[in-house]
Amino acid sequence: MDAHLKKMIFMTIENQISLQEFEAWLYTQAELAEKMSDDLILEVFAFNYNQSGAVYAFKQIFLPYFDEEEFMLWKIKANLQDLIDGKNDRLRILNDFYWLGYNRFLFLISIGFYLHDLEEPEYSRFRPAELTQNLKADAQKLLLEIELQEKDDVIFKISEFKETKEESL
């Protein structure tokens, strides 16, 4: 499978790029057009990007082509990196991490809790600049832990990730 195509599909599913950006990129990829025998590639070229509900349909059609563990690992790492980089969609990411933390990935909940402080900074014990700095530091720490465990385990699964806890004094 073409690694760049996979990344672009993941970015579209995760709303990091729009369907229109994906479609425009796709039609510049001559080498992909030559591989129409691949079901995924045929499907992305045949997809109706202008249909009603296209964003939902895109996710429903293309996500099953990939392993859920692989997508979730990419999603979590990419979103942690976006938080570190200070991208504009941090509230979307934090909301996502908040719910993923409750539903399946408990290690994300501490990052997700930043959502409350950032949405209602007047109730936080930290100033907005401190919150942002703390969020970036916590995201960096978690991303490094994930990458270390991924490096040490050839069959690493994000669903089995165990966050190391610092000892309290």
Contact status, residue 115 vs residue 94, Cβ threshold 8 Å: yes
Residue 110: per-residue pLDDT: 92
Residue 166: per-residue pLDDT: 60
Task: Give the residue among 49, 60, 51, 61 at the shortest CA–CA distance from 17.
Answer: 49
pTM of the model: 0.85
State the DSSP string of 53-110: THHHHHHHHHGGGS-HHHHHHHHHHHHHHHHHHT-TTHHHHHHHHHHHHHHT-GGGHH
> What is the C-alpha separation between 33 and 127, in angstroms, rounded?
51
Domain positions in the chain are: 3-65, 68-160
Residue 1: per-residue pLDDT: 64
> What is the C-alpha separation between 121 and 111, in angstroms, rounded?
16
Half-sphere exposure of 109 (CA within 13 A, CB side): 7
Contact status, residue 147 vs residue 163, Cβ threshold 8 Å: no
Written as tens digits, the pLDDT of the chain (169 aa) is 688 999 999 999 998 999 999 999 999 988 887 886 788 888 999 999 999 999 999 999 999 999 999 999 999 999 999 999 998 889 999 999 999 998 889 999 999 999 888 888 788 788 878 888 999 999 999 999 999 999 988 889 998 898 876 644 3
